[in-house]
Amino acid sequence: MRRKIIIAAGESNLVVDIRRMLDKIPVEVCDMASSANRALEMVEAQKPDLVLVDICLKGALTGIDLAHILNRKDIPFVLLTSTWSQQLFEELKLSCPYGVLIKPFKDTDLLPTIEIALYRWEQSRRLKGSDSVRQSVSQIHSGVIIGRSKELMHVFNLVRQVASHDTTVLLEGESGTGKEGLATRIHELSSRKDAVLVKVNCAALPTQLIESELFGHEKGSFTGAYGRKIGKFEKADGGTIFLDEIGELSMDAQVKILRVLQEMEIERIGGEGLLKVDVRVIAATNRDLEKRVREGNFRLDLYYRLNVFPIKVPPLRQRIEDIPLLVSHFLELFSVKMGKKVNSISNSALQKLINYTWPGNVRELQNLIERSVLLESGKEVQSIELPRPMAVQQDNVPDDSATVQTILELERDYIRSILAKCRHRVSGSGGAAEILNLPSSTLYSKMKKLGISREY
Ligand SMILES: Nc1ncnc2c1ncn2[C@@H]1O[C@H](COP(=O)(O)OP(=O)(O)OP(=O)(O)O)[C@@H](O)[C@H]1O
Ligand SMILES: [Mg+2]
């Protein structure tokens, strides 16, 4: 059977050359496309065995964008490029090509590369044991993290480095940047991947029930405790706990969480004793935690406990290169979900999306594309209605341009704010030393070192 190949290339000369070279082997060039969108339409219609992708394509999506999409669709491809550098190599590698050729090339380069790519593809299909791989062409998953900007690549690198260790990770970033997805990824890449990932939304924990939710309770331990309840930390034993929106925890709850993180021990309410737990902690926040510490709303000791391996997830407006790829991903995701075939977007609409500031980040883009797919009767999104510009929430983002405070300054502001809350009482019940969980002598010497007088 002749195998089918699609050529995606911006220059017509290159296409002519490739066609001529391919005459020498039993393959069928079933189509040619000059843009990624056109290539994707052909892929859907023709179900090719291989796509040759020139990284220079016409339209908003580059050949590298197309490569990432083909990789997700499980379609093998060979990349064609006219330049070569270590940086480009690192970038191309991420799309998992079946081969790469540097232009100009001859048939003696192209033909073996194609044969090897097809052979490798067949082997991998055999290993996966199925024709079902081919069927997965239109199967597109929600929950994957899309993007190839250098900012997101940096985040991926950190994720990869930390995942296999039990180190506590703190994901910081504006709402909708993908922190939850990254937390899941860290768990999936860790040795705990077969164990449970327990997600706790700290903002939704009812104040009176925090302890019971997190640590569990025994039957009859308080009115309404009709049976034994296993808390989130115990459920996560052997696995990972994701403490989402940690910046929203009340001061009371912070003390309780801090104790568990320090000792890795919990006690069910009304329980007989302490239970050891083995839990990997990932926390996330869309608040500026340092600012919360400075304002006295977040415990410094808990902040240090969580801030072992911080990962800052950049807002979408700082990685606009990811927008075309995300748009294409969401178009496909919602087309599949809604049984439609909206697979491209006009250049003017895409440009509008690139110029927008995205206060709601990827979540906002996702919602907008969902609405556009729903409303679209054709195959291409022609125009997009953007919401009126809205001020970006200032509290959300740790401001990169702000002067970075030293740890000592942070500690000084924190102690001052606690002192102010205790009306400058240092020792005794309700004094700052008690709240900070420090002997008063230690607090006095810290105050001296940091130049804090009792009345400042
Ligand atoms: N890089 C990405 N690729 C694909 N989908 C993404 C990406 N980033 C975010 N999303 C999608 O955007 C939505 C919001 O992401 P997520 O819930 O992870 O954000 P978050 O940072 O936890 O926000 P919040 O602080 O509001 O909880 C999700 O539906 C997620 O699947
Ligand atoms: Mg979240």
Q: What is the CATH number of the domain that holds 352?
A: 1.10.8.60
- The CATH number of the domain holding residue 91 is 3.40.50.2300
| Residue 398 domain-assigned (yes or no) | no
Q: Note whether residue 394 is domain-resident.
A: no
Q: Which of helix, strand or coil describes residue 62?
A: coil
Closest protein CA for atom 24 of ligand 1: 175
- pLDDT above 60 (res 396): no
Atom number, ligand 1, closest to the C-alpha of residue 152: 1
Q: Of ligand 1's atoms, which has the minimum distance to the CA of residue 182?
A: 18
- Whether 298 and 331 share a structural domain: no
Same domain, 295 and 157: yes
Residues 278 and 158 reside in one and the same domain: yes
Contact residues of ligand 1, CB 6 A cut-off: 145-147, 173, 175-181, 286, 326, 362-363, 366
What H or E segment, with its residue span, contains residue 323?
Answer: helix 322-338
Please tell me the total count of domains within the chain.
4
pLDDT above 90 as % of the chain: 46
Residue nearest to atom 18 of ligand 1 (CA): 178
Given 114, 138, 162, the domain boundary residue is 138
- Does the pLDDT value for residue 125 go beyond 90? no
Evaluate if residue 168 carries a pLDDT over 90: yes
Q: Tell whether 389 is covered by a domain.
A: no
CATH number of the domain within which 162 lies: 3.40.50.300
> Domain check: are 275 and 421 in the same one?
no
Rounded to whole angstroms, the Cα distance separating 451 from 384 reads 57
Please tell me whether residues 44 and 69 are part of one structural domain.
yes
Cα(176) to centroid(ligand 2), Å? 7
Does residue 223 surpass a pLDDT of 80? no
Burial 21-56 (b: 16+ CB within 10 A, else e): bbeebebebbbbbbbbbbbbbbbeeeebbbbbbbbb
| Pocket-testing residue among 159, 169, 177, 200, ligand 1, by greatest number of atoms within 8 A of Cβ | 177
Name the residue at shortest CA distance from atom 28 of ligand 1.
363
Q: Among 289, 312, 335, identify where a domain stops.
A: 312
Q: Which two tokens stand for residue 68?
A: 């990432």
Give exposure, 384-400, as e/b (b: 16+ Cβ within 10 Å).
Answer: beeeeeeeeeeebbbee
The answer to whether residue 79 sits within a structural domain is: yes
Q: How far is the CA of 275 from the centre of ligand 1 (A)?
A: 34
- Cα angle: 395, vertex 151, 197; to 5 degrees: 75
Q: Which of 86-95, 173-182, 237-246 has the lowest mean pLDDT?
A: 86-95
Residue 117 belongs to some domain of the structure: yes
Report which protein residue has its CA nearest ligand 1's atom 16.
Answer: 178
Give yes or no for a contact between 66 and 8, defined as CB atoms under 8 angstroms apart: yes
Residue 385: pLDDT over 50: yes
* Centre of ligand 1 from the C-alpha of residue 365, in Å: 10
Angle among Cα 119, 120, 122 to the nearest 5 degrees reads 65
- For residue 376, the CA-to-ligand 1 centroid distance in Å is 24
Which atom of ligand 1 is the closest one to the Cα of 244? Answer: 27
SS3 of the chain: helix, strand, coil, percent, to 5:
45, 15, 40
- Confidence label for 405 from pLDDT (cuts 50, 70 and 90): low
Q: Which ligand is nearest to the CA of 358?
A: 1
Same domain for 246 and 291: yes
Q: Phi/psi of residue 428, each to 5°?
A: 80, 180
Residue-wise pLDDT tens digits, 420-445: 888 888 888 888 888 887 788 888 88
Are residues 302 and 156 located together in one domain of the fold? yes
Paired sense of beta strands 50-54 and 3-8, if any = parallel
- What's the pLDDT tens digit per position in 321-347? 999 999 999 998 899 888 888 988 998
> Kind and range of the H or E element at 367?
helix 361-375
Distance 255 CA to ligand 2 centre (A): 23
Strand order in the sheet with 3-8: 27-33, 3-8, 50-54, 77-81, 99-102
> How far is 329 from 44, CA to CA, in rounded Å?
15
- Look up the domain containing 425 and give its range: 407-450
Q: How far is CA 128 from CA 67, 122, 131, in A?
A: 21, 10, 9
Closest residue by Cα to atom 26, ligand 1, is 175
What dihedral do alpha carbons 269, 275, 281, 284 form, nearest 10°?
0
199-212 b/e with 16+ CB inside 10 Å = b? Answer: bbebeebeeeebbb
pTM passes above 0.85:
no
Mean local confidence (pLDDT), 251-279: 89
User: Do residues 330 and 266 both lie within one domain?
Assistant: no
The predicted structure's pLDDT at residue 389: 59
**CA dihedral for 364, 370, 371, 377, sign (positive or negative):** positive
User: Is residue 388 included in any domain, yes or no?
Assistant: no
H/E stretch holding 365: helix 361-375
CB contact at 8 A, 400 and 215: no
CA 185 to centroid of ligand 1, rounded, Å:
12
| Confidence at 393, pLDDT banded by 50, 70, 90 | very low
Q: Which of 72, 180, 286, 311 to mutate to test the pocket of ligand 1 (most atoms within 8 A of CB)?
A: 180
Residues 209 and 287 in one domain: yes
Q: Which residue owns the Cα nearest ligand 1 atom 31?
A: 143
Same domain, 166 and 291: yes
Q: Which residues are within 8 A (CB) of 166 and not within 5 positions of it... i.e. 6 or more apart?
A: 280
If asked whether residues 327 and 299 sit together in one domain, one would say: no
Q: Both 220 and 336 in a single domain? A: no
Cα 365 to ligand 2 centroid, rounded to whole Å: 15
Nearest of 253, 251, 246 to residue 295 by alpha carbon: 251
Distance CA 207, CA 84 (A): 58
For residue 427, the CA-to-ligand 1 centroid distance in Å is: 45
